[in-house]
Structure formats: C-alpha cells, structure tokens
C-alpha cells in the first residue's frame, strides 16, 4: 500500500541548526569517503568540521619502549590529519576545520565528543554482528555509544543523482523512530531529495494481498493512515519535501537493505542497544551498519 504527497507551492524553512560535524579518519578509503561526504554537507549548511584520528592501541610494560613504538604512528597520524584538512579545503576552503590526534580508543573518544557534536560521520567497512561481538568493531560501538546522530558512510550501489534518489526512513511506534523521522525530513530538505517512509506491518494483521474486497483493504489502509499521522507534523515543517508512504508485509531489515540500493541516505532510529544485546535481540540499525548499500544515519 503506497501513497504519494506533493509539496505545496510555498516553502517555509524551519531547519534544525547543524553547526559541528565530527569525522573519524583512519586512512582507509571508507573514511576518506566519509570525510568527503561530511565536507559536502558542511558546505551546504555552513557547519564546521572536526577531524579525529586515534593512534593504534598498543600495550607495553615499558614506557620508553611504548613511546618509541608510538612515534611512527604519531607521525603518520599527523600526516593523515594534514592531508584530510587539505581534502576539505579542496572542497570548500571556507569550511572551518580543526584536527585532533588522540591516544584514546576511537570509539570512546568519539563517544565523549558526541555530547557536544551535532553529527558524527565515520566510514563503514564490511563486517557482521557476530564478528563485532567477537572482535569489537569500531562502527558498531560508536553507533551504540554516541549521544548524537551518527552517519556510517558506505559507498552507493548506484551513483546518486541530484534529486531522484530518495532519503529512506524506517518508521515504527518507538520514540527513536520519531527522531529518525525528524532527521530524515531535515536531510531530504537539505539535499533537495524526495523522502520515502517505510513501515512494516505484521503479515497476520490482515488478509493476503491477493484478496481485493473492501474489507480486506481496511487494515492496510489503517496502517497507511497511521504512518501518515506519524510523519504529518514533521512534513508540515518541511513543505518543500515530496514524500511517499509505503506499508509492506516484510522484514524491516530486508526491505531497508533493499531500499538502500537506490537511496541517497537511509535513516533509522536506535534504541541504544549495545553490540552484544543488539546482535542477540536483533537490531535493524546494527544490521544496516554492516550491509547498507548507501550511507546510513542512525538517530538515537
């Protein structure tokens, strides 16, 4: 069951203020992609960027030996931060940039910064929930611990057009989903993209889709009306955004992953589950961090 809503002709801008974007870099292609993406956003909204690199964590009983071993990574870290700053300057020399080299673990350091930052952006690498539980993958920990929204940048399956590819948001009845709706409309407005809101309904809540009588359509129509009511207040604050409502009988994880193949950005809420609890109980956000085909925004 789908519905499309055209924006009214008048435009009223009531955007959230985004002033500071924190980007974690480690020299990988994914972190470079995250930095370029963040710089493009900073250019659009006139935000400043803080680039963070964490030195490798090494244990040593001997302080002198530890300092000698850390000297080369520190030099390489400074070079990485310098080249990262230059990358941002090439995109927009007017973006205010500062850099931070830290000895702390990247997840805990970004977690501390998340209390004052508006957005954290990191690169995503192929992984899995089970691998994260065993080895402690940074992206999962950062998403779980951050107090502000986090974008995990992943390369697009299809190069995004300026306006044709939508911002996709998964919607349920949780409080975190409300935050996801707010973030999705803000990004759709900022990126001048349409928005697609997806809600998954239980297959047991209505008759099979092959039934075409009026009574069989009522539950689906009810789900669509509920979804419309869920996004209405936010959509009114972003009247320039064309949005589409979709209620599907399917797994949220599966449908959002499939939608990410042609999306500009996927947005989901987070209930704050840690990596272990999330992998055991099931977390759509955690799954998409590993498998999305485009950047994913997780809103706490």
Is 11 inside any structural domain?
Answer: yes
Do residues 178 and 299 both lie within one domain? yes
Residue 136 lies in a domain: no
Q: Do 4 and 66 lie in a common domain? A: no
Q: How high is the pLDDT of residue 132? A: 39
Give Rg (Cα) of the chain. 21
pLDDT tens digits in sequence order for the chain, 300 residues long: 556 554 432 232 244 678 999 999 999 999 999 999 999 999 999 999 999 999 987 654 455 455 555 568 889 999 999 999 999 999 999 999 999 999 999 999 999 999 999 999 999 865 544 333 333 357 888 988 899 999 999 988 777 766 689 999 999 888 888 999 999 999 999 999 999 999 988 654 443 333 333 344 445 668 889 999 999 999 999 999 999 999 988 888 889 999 999 999 999 987 654 443 333 334 676 778 888 999 999 997
Task: Report if residue 278 sits inside a domain.
Answer: yes
- The residue from 88, 117, 146 where one domain ends is 117
Question: In this predicted structure, what is the pLDDT of residue 291?
Answer: 84
pLDDT at 6: 45
pLDDT at 109: 95
113 plus 187 within the same structural domain: no
Per-residue confidence (pLDDT) for residue 300, from 0 to 100: 78
Domain assignment present for 166: yes
Instruction: Report yes or no on 208 lying in a domain.
Output: yes
How big is the CA angle at 109 (ends 128 and 111), to the nearest 5 degrees? 65
Residues 39 and 6 in one domain: no
Task: Please report, for residues 24, 78, 89, the alpha-carbon distance to residue 152 in angstroms, rounded to integers and kept in the order given.
Answer: 10, 23, 22
Is 148 contained in some domain? no
Tell me, yes or no, whether 173 lies in a domain.
yes
Residue 246: which residues within 8 A CB-CB, separation 6 or more? Answer: 1, 2, 196, 197, 198, 199
Are 84 and 199 part of one and the same domain?
Answer: no
167 within 8 A of 267, measured Cβ to Cβ: yes
CATH code (residue 177): 3.40.50.12370
Tokens of 107: 């997840």
Q: Which domain holds residue 231?
A: 1-16+156-300
pLDDT for 25: 95
Give the strand pairing for 20-24 and 195-200: unpaired
- Residue 80 has a CB neighbour count (10 Å cut-off) of 20
Q: Give the whole-angstrom CA distance, residue 59 versus residue 57.
A: 7
DSSP state of 159: P
166 and 295 both lie in a single domain: yes
29 and 2: one domain?
no
Q: Are residues 43 and 179 in the same domain?
A: no
Q: What is residue 5's predicted lDDT score, i.e. its pLDDT? A: 56
Q: Are residues 1 and 51 in the same domain?
A: no
Q: Strand, helix or coil at 24?
A: strand
Q: What's the confidence (pLDDT) of residue 200? A: 85
Residue 247 belongs to some domain of the structure: yes
Residue with the two structure tokens 């659009």: 44
Total domain count, the chain? 2
CB 23 within 8 A of CB 106: no
Q: How many CB atoms lie within 10 A of CB 218?
A: 12
CB 144 within 8 A of CB 138: no
Q: What is the pTM of this model?
A: 0.80
pLDDT at 29: 92
Domain final residue, candidates 117, 142, 175: 117
Examine the domain organization and report whether 288 and 300 are in the same domain.
yes
Q: How far is 241 from 259, CA to CA, in rounded Å?
A: 19
For residue 89, the domain's CATH number is 3.40.50.620
How many C-beta atoms lie closer than 10 Å to residue 196's C-beta? 24
Task: Looking at the structure, tell me whether residues 256 and 166 fall in a common domain.
Answer: yes
Residue 207 sits in the same domain as residue 249: yes
SS3 20: strand
């Amino acid at each position: 069951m789908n519905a499309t809503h055209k924006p009214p002709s008048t435009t009223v801008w009531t955007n959230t203020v985004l002033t500071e974007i924190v980007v974690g870099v480690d020299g990988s292609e994914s972190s470079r992609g995250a930095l370029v993406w963040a710089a493009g956003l900073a250019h659009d909204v006139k935000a400043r960027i803080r680039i963070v690199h964490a030195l490798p964590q090494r244990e040593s009983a001997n302080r002198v030996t530890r300092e000698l071993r850390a000297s080369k990574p520190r030099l390489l870290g400074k070079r990485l931060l310098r080249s990262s700053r230059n990358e941002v300057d090439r995109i927009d020399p007017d973006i205010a940039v500062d850099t931070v080299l830290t000895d702390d673990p990247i997840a805990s350091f970004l977690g501390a910064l998340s209390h004052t930052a508006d957005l954290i952006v990191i690169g995503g690498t192929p992984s899995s929930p089970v691998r994260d539980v065993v080895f402690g993958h940074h992206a999962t920990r950062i998403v779980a611990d951050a107090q502000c929204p986090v974008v995990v940048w992943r390369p697009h399956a299809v190069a995004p057009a300026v306006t044709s590819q939508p911002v996709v948001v998964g919607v349920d009845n949780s409080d975190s989903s409300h935050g996801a709706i707010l973030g999705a409309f803000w990004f759709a407005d900022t990126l001048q993209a349409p928005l697609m809101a997806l809600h998954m309904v239980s297959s047991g809540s209505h008759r099979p889709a092959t039934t075409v009588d009026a009574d069989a359509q009522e539950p689906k129509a009810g789900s669509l009306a509920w979804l419309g009511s869920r996004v209405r207040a936010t959509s009114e604050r972003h009247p320039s955004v064309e949005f589409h409502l979709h209620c599907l009988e399917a797994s949220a994880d599966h449908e959002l992953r499939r939608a990410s193949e042609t999306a500009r950005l996927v947005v989901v809420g987070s209930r704050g589950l840690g990596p272990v609890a999330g992998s055991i109980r099931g977390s759509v956000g955690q799954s998409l961090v590993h498998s999305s085909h485009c950047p994913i925004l997780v809103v706490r």
